[in-house]
Amino acid sequence: MKRIEAIKEKIEDLRDNIRYHERRYYIEDNPEISDYEYDRLLRELKELENSYPQFITPDSPTQRVGGEPAEKFQTVEHMIPMLSLDNAYSYDELIDFDTRVKKGLKGEEPEYIVELKIDGLGVALIYENGILVRGATRGDGIRGEDITQNMRTIMSIPLKIEINSPSLSYIEVRGEVFLTHQGFETINREREDRGEPLFANPRNAAAGSLRHLDPSITASRPLDIFLYNVSYVRDPIFKTHLESLQALNRLGFKTNLNTLFCRDLQEVMHYVEVWREKRDDLNYDVDGLVIKVNSLEHQKILGSTTKHPRWAIAYKYQAEQATTRIEDIIVQVGRTGSLTPVAILKPVKLAGSTIKRATLHNEDEIIRKDIWIGDTAIIEKGGDVIPKVVMVIKEKREGDEVQFKMPDRCPVCGASVFRPEGEVVARCTGSACPAQLKERLHHFASRTAMDIDHLGPAIIDQLVGKNLVKDVADIYSLDLATLTSLERMAEKSAQNLLNAIEKSKDAGFQRLLYAIGIRYVGERIAQIISHGYSSMDDLMEAKREELESIPEIGHRVAESTVVFFLQEENRRVLKKLKDAGVAMHKKREEKREDILKEKQFILTGTLERFTREEAKEIIERLGGLVTSSVTKKTDYVVVGRDPGSKYDKAKELGITIIDEDEFIKMTE
Ligand code: IVH
């Protein structure tokens, strides 16, 4: 075999191997190899594809995220309309459904399949000759949006399936894209860090992520999918819905395993009861069950109305609700000064717990729902989401209710409140606001920031309450005597806390940059900025244009960073941190000092983020060597824009070629 063919084969083997492990990990939740080994395989494939770009195909596991942000999505017509489901809210309605089905089948007994009704977004995927060629939203059922680029970023959607029969050469499958509770919380935490409005629930967050115009944003969100229907195949090869689900599974699609075969309605109803409570234990939202006639022949006989299939129905669980009085509406202050109104309720039992508060999101929401203090309200709790006010019962008003008004002064510090034009969130402008300070301290000490173990909310409350800490830098002047004077603080805990504080001084530039709480600078942005600057002093003097020239740093981040460093108060706190001995420069990862030991590098072409000199310095600091001509001994060739003949030479010799991003990853 020619060398080039052997390479092509190697690339294809690697891809199959990676696809296999992705399936074990993302679909079967049963990985066989470590993340590290998986990364190594993927890196090997990337390196080969970089050297032999002629072999890159769109279905390669390396090609999930690509394409420029779209201006808008194209509209696409569905091959077969995406109908919605008729709903049942009671057993009576289920019995009616069963009766209609039996009547339609002229007395033949139907079997049913019961599935969880996932609370996400319905989508359709088309595979042509085993390759994913289109992904679309449901839209109005007739036309949806072409979101192929975004769907490709969802790791549990295969880009390629193994088809074993010609009837599968063109296939459309449907399913529900959703976010787990954990995924939802992560996204909201990041949004909070950036001072952006939060998503109200996992479904909205999934919708916002799936329909984002920039596929790289979608890729950063942990979206997932369950497939529940084969909507089109050339020749129908399954006889029942259950068989089609099994086929989906064999083809490498993720299907929900809580699906049950039921011989009759009695069994269906039993299953409805089982899941009424059990659904709260799942880590994604389920708003009901879907009951489907199993036989495809029966489905055909029953047909559809213009809106719903007659062979399926959704049994919707009612979100548990309770009625109570809104005794007060208070305003909570977040780290960035955001003011969130919260309803204080007359305590009421709901879904097994006593509820005393409900979130009201923001002022506009209160106006929209016309919520007054003293109103009788219906509150609701779905899944494990925070209770919310569904509506108020205006008929129960007695005349002494009071309309809520967002205060124009911060309820905690008294500074003025500002709501920028076009934003829904009002903010406290006080730089010394104790509520903001507590949140800032909490963020500063958090695990992904300075990682100060033992500095929890109870201690922060006392430190701020007793005026012992007025800014984040004051943490570093705490001593044993002060700490042991706090409530519930024994000497041992105080010493542990002091040790943790001391240790955090070495957290390094990147963590500190995230910890000081610049608006819009979350963990990822801090990482990107820290590539370009070696210390806080460097960054403090950075001009806006300079920051904006870093890929991925936009106008908003650049602006808020520059503004942050212009503020006298922030400069003062940073100086205090520095004087206290907090490291203000990049961390030297001693352990990793020689990760490139004796590796020979060639640099060719123009690099975007380093000068040659800087790249050389990094390589040498890590124990590597930069040479000037490509030989068999060369280990890596780093290619920038417009590479020279060294690139061709390296390809010829089969030397690993990496681009700037990979170089950064390697040396991080
Ligand atoms: S079957 C023609 N199965 O619920 C029947 N739908 O209100 C097509 N959904 O638009 C739907 N889980 O987005 C089906 N196991 C499941 C489902 C499910 C969630 C969604 C789907 C549909 C909506 C209907």
Going along the chain from its start, the domains and CATH numbers come out as 2-63 (1.10.287.610), 76-316 (3.30.470.30), 322-418 (2.40.50.140), 434-579 (1.10.150.20), 600-667 (3.40.50.10190)
Q: Which two tokens stand for residue 591?
A: 């352990």
**Can you tell me the distance from the alpha carbon of 553 to that of 194, in angstroms, rounded to the nearest whole number?**
13
Contact 455, 500 (CB under 8 A): yes
- Verify whether residue 405 is a known catalytic residue: no
The size of the chain, in residues, is: 668
**Can you tell me the distance from the alpha carbon of 646 to that of 650, in angstroms, rounded to the nearest whole number?**
6
Q: Which two tokens stand for residue 413?
A: 């510090």
Contacts of residue 165, defined as CB under 8 A and 6 or more positions apart, other chains included, come to: 237
Q: Tell me the torsion sign for CA atoms 425, 431, 435, 439.
A: positive
Which of 71, 76, 94 lies closest to 270 in space, CA to CA? Answer: 94
pLDDT value of position 467: 92
Strands 656-659 and 636-639: parallel
Contact 284, 178 (CB under 8 A): yes
Which of 123, 138, 176, 229 for mutating ligand 1's site (highest number of atoms within 8 Å of CB)? 176
Contact 382, 371 (CB under 8 A): no
pLDDT value of position 592: 52
Which of 344, 342, 377 lies closest to 360 in space, CA to CA? Answer: 342
Which of 117, 174, 260 for mutating ligand 1's site (highest number of atoms within 8 Å of CB)? 117
pLDDT digits (tens, 9 = 90+) for 318-329: 878 899 999 999
Which of 84, 85, 260, 307 for mutating ligand 1's site (highest number of atoms within 8 Å of CB)? 85
Which amino acid would we find at residue 514?
Y
Contact 123, 229 (CB under 8 A): no
Q: Is the pLDDT of residue 383 over 60?
A: no
3-state class (DSSP) for residue 125: strand
634 CA to centre of own chain: 40
Q: Read off the pLDDT of each residue in 531-541 and give the average, rounded to a whole number.
A: 89
Q: Per-residue b/e over 104-116, b at no fewer than 16 CB within 10 Å?
A: bbeeeebbbbbbb
What is the H or E stretch that residue 151 is in? helix 148-151
Q: How far is the CA of 119 from the centre of ligand 1 (A)?
A: 9
- Measuring from atom 17 of ligand 1, which residue has the nearest CA? 117
- Measuring from atom 18 of ligand 1, which residue has the nearest CA? 117
φ, ψ of residue 456 in degrees (nearest 5): -90, 180
Q: Is the pLDDT of residue 431 over 90?
A: no
Index of the ligand 1 atom closest to the CA of residue 308? 2
Q: Read off the pLDDT of each residue in 466-488 and give the average, rounded to a whole number.
A: 94
Contacts of residue 3, defined as CB under 8 A and 6 or more positions apart, other chains included, come to: none
Q: Read off the pLDDT of each residue in 193-216 and give the average, rounded to a whole number.
A: 87
Q: Which two tokens stand for residue 182?
A: 């954990």
Q: Read off the pLDDT of each residue in 333-358 and give the average, rounded to a whole number.
A: 89
- Residue 592 is given by DSSP the state G
pLDDT digits (tens, 9 = 90+) for 482-497: 999 998 899 999 999 9
Give the active site residue among 117, 292, 381, 388.
Answer: 117
pLDDT value of position 134: 97
Q: Which two tokens stand for residue 246?
A: 């099994």
pLDDT digits (tens, 9 = 90+) for 7-21: 999 999 999 999 999
Q: Is the pLDDT of residue 1 over 70?
A: no
Q: Which two tokens stand for residue 497?
A: 């806390």
**Can you tell me the distance from the alpha carbon of 232 to that of 245, in angstroms, rounded to the nearest whole number?**
13
Show the ligand 1 pocket: residues with CB < 6 angstroms: 83-85, 115, 117-118, 122, 138, 176, 228-229, 290, 309, 312, 314
- CB-count burial class (<10 Å; 0-12, 13-18, 19+) for 546: middle
Q: Read off the pLDDT of each residue in 51-60 and give the average, rounded to a whole number.
A: 93
Q: Which two tokens stand for residue 313?
A: 């129905």
Contacts of residue 42, defined as CB under 8 A and 6 or more positions apart, other chains included, come to: 18, 61, 62
**Can you tell me the distance from the alpha carbon of 286 to that of 125, in angstroms, rounded to the nearest whole number?**
22
Token match 């009671």: residue?
Answer: 90
- Binned at pLDDT 50, 70 and 90, residue 421 comes out as confident
599 or 573: whose pLDDT is higher?
A: 573
Average pLDDT, the chain: 91
263 or 350: whose pLDDT is higher?
A: 263
- Measuring from atom 2 of ligand 1, which residue has the nearest CA? 83
pLDDT value of position 605: 86
Q: How far is the CA of 117 from the centre of ligand 1 (A)?
A: 6
pLDDT value of position 665: 85
Q: How far is the CA of 84 from the centre of ligand 1 (A)?
A: 7
Q: How far is the CA of 268 from the centre of ligand 1 (A)?
A: 17
Index of the ligand 1 atom closest to the CA of residue 84? 24
Token match 């062979």: residue?
Answer: 311
Index of the ligand 1 atom closest to the CA of residue 304? 2
- Binned at pLDDT 50, 70 and 90, residue 591 comes out as very low
Index of the ligand 1 atom closest to the CA of residue 116? 15
Q: How far is the CA of 86 from the centre of ligand 1 (A)?
A: 10
- Measuring from atom 16 of ligand 1, which residue has the nearest CA? 117
Which amino acid would we find at residue 475?
I
Q: Which two tokens stand for residue 136?
A: 């679309």
Q: Is the pLDDT of residue 94 over 90?
A: yes
Q: How far is the CA of 122 from the centre of ligand 1 (A)?
A: 7
Radius of gyration, alpha carbons of the chain = 29
Q: 194-198, 214-218, 357-361, 587-591: lowest mean pLDDT where?
A: 587-591
pLDDT digits (tens, 9 = 90+) for 619-651: 877 878 888 788 888 899 999 888 888 888 888
pLDDT digits (tens, 9 = 90+) for 135-188: 999 999 999 999 999 999 999 999 999 998 889 999 999 999 999 998 998 898
Which amino acid would we find at residue 18?
I
Q: Is the pLDDT of residue 113 over 50?
A: yes
Q: How far is the CA of 85 from the centre of ligand 1 (A)?
A: 7
Q: How far is the CA of 80 from the centre of ligand 1 (A)?
A: 15
Q: 201-205, 397-401, 441-445, 531-535: lowest mean pLDDT where?
A: 531-535
- Residue 409 is given by DSSP the state B
- Binned at pLDDT 50, 70 and 90, residue 382 comes out as low
Contacts of residue 413, defined as CB under 8 A and 6 or more positions apart, other chains included, come to: 428, 430, 432, 433, 434, 435, 436
What is the H or E stretch that residue 401 is in? none
Index of the ligand 1 atom closest to the CA of residue 256? 15
630 or 121: whose pLDDT is higher?
A: 121
Index of the ligand 1 atom closest to the CA of residue 122? 13
- Residue 416 is given by DSSP the state B
**Can you tell me the distance from the alpha carbon of 243 to that of 521, in angstroms, rounded to the nearest whole number?**
49
**Can you tell me the distance from the alpha carbon of 337 to that of 429, in angstroms, rounded to the nearest whole number?**
7
- Measuring from atom 6 of ligand 1, which residue has the nearest CA? 117
- Measuring from atom 12 of ligand 1, which residue has the nearest CA? 117
- CB-count burial class (<10 Å; 0-12, 13-18, 19+) for 36: exposed
Which of 208, 209, 207, 214 lies closest to 70 in space, CA to CA? Answer: 214
pLDDT value of position 262: 96
Half-sphere exposure of 158 (CA within 13 A, CB side): 30
Q: How far is the CA of 65 from the centre of ligand 1 (A)?
A: 27
Contact 42, 61 (CB under 8 A): yes
Q: Which two tokens stand for residue 321?
A: 């609700």
pLDDT above 90: percentage of residues in the chain: 66
Which of 173, 290, 304 for mutating ligand 1's site (highest number of atoms within 8 Å of CB)? 290
**Can you tell me the distance from the alpha carbon of 13 to that of 409, in angstroms, rounded to the nearest whole number?**
65
